[in-house]
Structure 1
């Protein structure tokens, strides 16, 4: 059975909730949860992935033709990644993202 968090939720549910609203829910869970490594890891990863996707979406969106093509790719890719990360957290797995996971682990 998964461990409990300071919110009274199981860690897999709290880990999933960190991805619910991107960096907003990640910040909230990071501030609220002080002890559970699993939840804090997913909260940091949610923040970093959200920042990368939002930055890429806006920066590429400024380029006339490339912006349109990139938004056609980034929006569905972000949705699929969001679902995968939420499901992995719910299953109790530590999702490994290139560079982002290592950076999140170093921050903890």
Structure 2
């Protein structure tokens, strides 16, 4: 007589619920930041009910558009620096270091937002988060 090992079938729910896209909400929230603001727009349009995913998609849109606006403003300012007689080229060259600083800060912020969304945390950026909350 063979003795069968006891098996237990526990049904455990995952820590994160799924979104309307079929992905776990933390995965969908993180993917919304991947190619900000494009993936943010995609998830914002596809996700109708999950507030977590909609918030992160909206924040991705606001972050991406805001960053684009900052870079456009910096470019316009740098072009205006070139109009300064004698020192314009040097000032423009020095100002180009600001592109590196802003780009590096944006990259670190992007990684942080990606991590927070994947960790199932609803982290709102100081300015962009308020806009994202209203959009979501």
User: TM > 0.5 between the two?
Assistant: yes
Q: Indicate the SS of the match to 1:14.
A: helix
2:118 match: 90
Verify the 8 A CA contact 1:61 1:68 in the aligned structure 2. Answer: no
Cα distance in 2, alignment partners of residues 52 and 89 from structure 1? 19
5+ unaligned residues in a row in structure 2: which ranges? Answer: 1-14, 79-91
User: What's 1:55 paired with?
Assistant: 69
Give 5+ residue unaligned stretches, structure 1: none
Q: 46, 66, 78: which is aligned to 2:106? A: 78
Provide the rounded CA distance (Å) in 1 between the counterparts of 2:106 and 2:29: 18
The offset of 1:32, in angstroms, is 0.5
- Indicate the structure with greater helix content: 1
Aligned equivalents of 1:69, 1:60: Cα separation in 2: 11
For residues 100 and 28 of structure 1, the distance between their equivalents in structure 2, rounded to whole angstroms, comes to 18
Aligned residues: 108
TM-score, with normalisation over the residues of structure 1? 0.93
1:35-90 deviation digits (Å, cap 9, x = unpaired): 10000000000000111111111211222326412201111111111100000000
For residues 65 and 46 of structure 2, what CA distance do their matches in structure 1 show? 20
Deviates more, 1:62-71 or 1:31-40: 62-71
Match of 1:31 in 2: 45
Structure of higher CA gyration radius: 2
Contact 1:15–1:90 at 8 Å: present in 2 too?
A: yes
